[in-house]
Amino acid sequence: MARTALTPEERAAALGETTRFAKAHSVAANQGQSTVPNANADVNLHFVAFVQASSSEDSGNAHRRIVELDGRRPGPIDHGPSTNFLEVCMGHVLDFVLRVLASLSITRTWRN
């Protein structure tokens, strides 16, 4: 069966069954300057990505959307039209950092 003939569900199943990505991740994770935590360690870290997604009527940037992919959320978050990708994404990152800093300040005040 050709790759293009697979449904999205079949492609997802094929990706889930391969060990190729797990092996590549393991090699990359064990490189670098950071200490690698135990694979079973309970860590409070994750990645968030902003991507520019095309809509079905995409013709250039006119219909592209900014989508946030966060593993802790139930699904993608649509942040609207991609008028200026970097500016919009940085605005969301800045909002997040300010919320975290405010939360740390409140936590510190609460504990004192």
Of the pLDDT bands very low, low, confident and very high (cuts 50, 70, 90), residue 28 is confident
Q: Are 110 and 102 in contact (CB under 8 A)?
A: no
Give 82's DSSP letter: -
Domain ranges for the chain: 3-111
Q: Between 16 and 105, whose confidence is greater?
A: 16
In this predicted structure, the answer to whether residue 18 has a pLDDT above a threshold of 50 is yes
pLDDT tens per residue across span 54-104: 876 655 556 788 999 987 788 899 988 888 889 988 998 898 888 888 877
**Average model confidence (pLDDT) for the chain?**
78
User: May I ask the CATH architecture of the domain 3-111?
Assistant: 3-Layer(aba) Sandwich (3.40)
* pLDDT at residue 30 in the model: 77
